[in-house]
Amino acid sequence: MDIYLHGFNWPVYAEQIMPAFERWLLDRDGSAILALYAKTRCALEEEYLPKPMQRIRTWIRAKEFVDSLPRGPHSRVEYTRLCSAEQFTSFSDRYLHQYAPQLYQQSPPLRTVWGALIEANCLVQLYAADVEAANEQTTRGDVIALLHDAGLSDMALEVGERATETTVTSDAAPVNAERAEDDASELDPYNEEENKPAGILLGQQINMLRLRGWLATISVRAMALFELLACGRRRMPFGYDANDPYGACYGYLTPAETWQLALALHDAHAYNQAQAEQDYQQFCMEQIVKAFPAARLLDEVMPERTRELLRAVRRAAMQGLGLIVVTD
């Protein structure tokens, strides 16, 4: 199971998606939700189901569940709190002795609808595109320098001219915006790489991230906020299911919490990747050989993804975004 970190567009979530859920749960008015859901990858995939299987579409099952919900005075208060991004977030910490708003039973189709809307509207790619462009520019510069050193100045000039032409073409891309929209309408809904925003990989298992121990040495607040983000300490409004590709949102931070995390990590420095990997191999050997009387805990091992976490937190804070973790 891979753990990916994304930017979280909190204004869209708090001002559009959850108010639409509130109207749906309170008044059975699902028009706003349906309009948003129809544009998601999940809905596009299910359009190709054979006619005998149309009955099991996610939207139909979710609507049947919502239509069956009780709507007495106490239930309506519960739905209002559940669908208020701010109120639910204040109750969502599993460590607090407070009752977190929830439905009388979990509904996998409703969770899928929620997750599909998050994927389509709230996941923000933080820096992968910038890094790719920077790497491409660095590689091209290295090639040009090598060609000059080899005495192939003409070929180096040609490579530089091609790079300039590529930049000009990229700058002129908005002229063909209409054509790009036409191409976007033909996207394959089954191509996850094409339709799903790229996230930042933090590790393969929740209990193997080894970031909590490192954060605790820097700031207890930083560790606590990371637990809300990536350790299952924060509840999700409609639950979590690692086996559901649209229900695998594991935790999030609001923009204010992300800013607090960035401040707590202001003076933090990333570990060397090679040293972190070597330290983990040594830890594994210690567990096998038992050479030391007091073996280290897993969270005391140097984590490998500190650089990615620091860059993501700082970039999200500067852009006014929250953060959200999705497992895959």
Q: pLDDT tens digits, residue range 173-229?
A: 343 434 444 444 455 555 555 556 678 988 888 778 889 889 999 999 999 999 999
* Residue 286 CA: distances (Å) to CA of 17, 122, 209: 49, 43, 19
Q: Where are the alpha helices (DSSP H) in the chain?
A: 10-12, 18-27, 31-37, 41-46, 58-67, 73-83, 85-91, 108-121, 128-149, 153-171, 177-184, 192-195, 211-218, 220-230, 255-264, 273-289, 306-319
- Asked whether residue 206 falls in the same domain as residue 177, the answer is no
Q: Smallest Cα–Cα separation from 213: which of 94, 87, 298, 91?
A: 298
Q: How many residues does the chain have?
A: 328
**Would you give the DSSP letter of residue 251?**
E
Q: Given this model, what pLDDT does residue 208 score?
A: 80
- Asked whether residue 122 falls in the same domain as residue 133, the answer is no
Distance, in Å, from the CA atom of 327 to the CA atom of 251, rounded to the nearest integer, reads 10
Does any domain span residue 153? yes
- Asked whether residue 111 falls in the same domain as residue 141, the answer is no
- Asked whether residue 228 falls in the same domain as residue 241, the answer is yes
- Asked whether residue 18 falls in the same domain as residue 162, the answer is no
Does any domain span residue 278? no
Long-range contacts (CB closer than 8 Å, 24 or more residues apart) made by 145-152: none
Phi, psi of 123 (to 5 degrees): -80, 125
Most confident range (mean pLDDT) of 47-51, 98-102, 151-155, 225-229 is 225-229
Q: Given this model, what pLDDT does residue 234 score?
A: 94
Q: Total structural domains in the chain?
A: 2
> Is 36 a residue whose pLDDT tops 90?
yes
Q: Given this model, what pLDDT does residue 185 score?
A: 45
- Asked whether residue 23 falls in the same domain as residue 91, the answer is yes
Residue 322 contacts by C-beta under 8 Å, 6 or more apart in sequence? 7, 8, 9, 10, 13, 252, 253, 254, 255, 257, 258, 316
Q: What number of other Cβ atoms are within 10 A of residue 286's Cβ? A: 14
Mean pLDDT of the chain: 81
- Asked whether residue 112 falls in the same domain as residue 234, the answer is yes
Does any domain span residue 8? yes
Q: Smallest Cα–Cα separation from 173: which of 161, 183, 160?
A: 183
> Is 94 a residue whose pLDDT tops 60?
yes
Q: Given this model, what pLDDT does residue 173 score?
A: 38
The torsion of the CA quartet 22, 28, 30, 32, rounded to 10 degrees, works out to -50
Instruction: pLDDT band for 132, please (50, 70, 90 cuts).
Output: very low
Q: What number of other Cβ atoms are within 10 A of residue 181's Cβ? A: 9
Q: Given this model, what pLDDT does residue 68 score?
A: 93
Instruction: pLDDT band for 291, please (50, 70, 90 cuts).
Output: low
- Asked whether residue 70 falls in the same domain as residue 119, the answer is yes
Does any domain span residue 109? yes
Which residues constitute the domain of residue 309? 3-126+202-269+305-327
Does any domain span residue 276? no
Task: Give Cα 57 distance to the centre of its chain.
Answer: 25
Q: Given this model, what pLDDT does residue 166 score?
A: 44
Does any domain span residue 300? no
- Asked whether residue 233 falls in the same domain as residue 138, the answer is no
- Asked whether residue 162 falls in the same domain as residue 238, the answer is no
Structure token digits, residue 183: 């191409």
Does any domain span residue 157? yes
- Asked whether residue 116 falls in the same domain as residue 248, the answer is yes
- Asked whether residue 68 falls in the same domain as residue 211, the answer is yes
Does any domain span residue 194? no
What is the per-residue burial (b if ≥16 Cβ within 10 Å, else e) of 69-108?
A: beeeeeeeebbebbbbbeebbebbbeeeeeebbbbeeebb
